[in-house]
Structure 1
């Protein structure tokens, strides 16, 4: 019996270390975000749009990612309403471009362009 105790202990230590690694990695995504991070996720969602009804994990995953960064944004613009709407969309199984555009109104103002139109840079 005592022969198996070190092995059990090693497994427990390894599991605890793995849990700590997951907790540490997750903690990196709980801090405030910047305008650039929000707009990057916004453009990423826009890149996944098609025509008509939108289905598929990439859209919902991107909506969830944008909801997360919008919720953690601490700039003068209030993105909390967008974050709530996007989280609801991320948890659903279908949406439309119109619904996504309406859910990202404040993010669109922050980023300076409509969903799916990409960022605007004046010619230089």
Structure 2
């Protein structure tokens, strides 16, 4: 009887790959978002910025999350340009407060305050 080399290993590798894909995509929301969700992510990004040059995984992670919800926002305001700029920033190694502020101009108008200043008023 001839045994195929690597058979059980291939199956195990396939199971691990499928599990990783499922885990990765489970964290990605795909539906439309609301003003509340966008502003919660915006406030989260605001909480992570400092003065001057901005660097560090929490800032870029928060920028990526805001890019995602801004891209899926279906309100009357167009947040697509902010989403595009934030997505680019989330892939960078370094950014500045000015660059983040310019990338969130439409979101700032939606949420009612500049990045890093104040927080979004309660949602009714």
In which range does the TM-score fall when normalised by the shorter chain?
0.7 to 0.9
Give distance in 2, aligned partners of 1:56 and 1:13: 34
Matches within 5 A, 1:1-124: 11=12, 14-15=15-16, 18=19, 21-22=22-23, 25-26=26-27, 29-121=29-121
Give distance in 1, aligned partners of 2:101 and 2:91: 17
8 Å Cα contact 2:43-2:120 kept in structure 1: no
Give distance in 1, aligned partners of 2:52 and 2:73: 30
Give distance in 1, aligned partners of 2:16 and 2:8: 12
TM-score by length of 1: 0.80
Equivalences, count: 121
Give distance in 1, aligned partners of 2:24 and 2:16: 12
State the shift of 1:11 in Å: 3.4
Give the gaps of 5 or more residues in structure 2. none
Give the gaps of 5 or more residues in structure 1. none
TM-score by length of 2: 0.80
State the shift of 1:30 in Å: 1.1
State the shift of 1:121 in Å: 3.8
State the shift of 1:18 in Å: 2.0
The CA deviation string for residues 74-120 of structure 1, in whole angstroms up to 9 with x for no partner, is: 11110000001111111111111111011000000111111112325
Distance change (3 Å), C-alpha of 1:90 and 1:13: closer
Give distance in 1, aligned partners of 2:13 and 2:101: 48
